[in-house]
Structure formats: structure tokens, C-alpha cells
Homo-oligomer: A and B are copies of this chain.
Amino acid sequence: MDTIAVRTSQRSQFIEITRQVQDSISKSGIKDGLVCVFAPHTTAGITINENADPDVASDMIDILTQVVPERAGYRHREGNSDGHAKSSLISPSITVIVENGRLCLGTWQGIYFAEFDGPRQRQCWIKIIASEP
């Protein structure tokens, strides 16, 4: 697998990694298969959403903050239980189709590393499986 480094600068932040995932596919030489993009962290996730208007990502962060408030009263002492819950709601893993050596995404879709307890230095793992040997 490939590992990419992601440096986040805010507590909640969406950072687009589409280009890095495509680079990993191109480097692998695999033309046809599936790619799994994985965040090895318990307060982050991987998602796909619009990459045309940056207001979409900021609205989504606002919505997630309303759905799972960052508040006191959680048992977990580190005080980041909201980040753990957002990680499971968004999921740390996503699988995308690869054909002709290219990520298959819709017109407006980009792949995002979703930070829910930054700023931190993070990693993202990328694994490509060929559909034919």
C-alpha cells in the first residue's frame, strides 16, 4: 500500500486527496480494479463529496458539528468523543472503482480526508486491487 501524509490545520477540516489517490493508482500500473482509501485514525474519516464549491465542505462541517456537538459531559477523558462519533458516521474507509488506470468518480466528486480532532499530522493509506492478474 501507499501512505500519504496529511497535515491538518483546524479541529474539523476536509482536505482533498483525489490527486494523491490517482497518483498512487498511476504508479501501481493497475488499470482495472478497486481502490481502498483508509484513515488509520479514530477521530478522522474518508469521504467523497463536491469539490467544485468549497462552501459545500464548510457547510458539511457545520452540519456535523450540529449533529454531534463538541461539548463537555462525555465520559472519555480526552474530550474528543464527538470526533470519535463523527469518524464512525463518516467511516474511516471508502472503496472506489478503477478503470483504464483512472479513479471512477462523478463529475463533481472528490475524495476527502475528514479531520475531526485536529490540527494534527495524519496519514492516509491507499491499496489497489486488480480485477485481473
Binding site for B on A (CB under 8 A): 1, 33-34, 36, 38-42, 47-50, 53, 55-56, 58-60, 62-64, 67-68, 74-78, 81-82, 84-85, 87-97, 99, 104-109, 123, 125, 127-133
Could you pull out 17 A-B pairs where Cβ atoms are within 8 angstroms? A1-B97, A1-B104, A38-B97, A40-B105, A40-B109, A42-B56, A49-B88, A53-B78, A55-B74, A55-B75, A55-B76, A59-B76, A89-B89, A93-B94, A104-B127, A129-B131, A130-B132
Q: Say whether A63 contacts B36, CB under 8 Å.
A: no
Cα distance, A49 to B117, chains bound together (Å): 14
Partner of A131, one of B47, B88, B96, B130: B130
Candidates B34, B47, B62, B132; contact of A127 at CB < 8 Å: B34
In the complex, what's the smallest C-beta–C-beta distance from A78 to chain B, in angstroms? 8
Give the distance in Å from the alpha carbon of A39 to the alpha carbon of B95 in the complex: 12
Collect the chain B residues with CB atoms within 8 Å of residue A132's CB. Answer: 130, 133
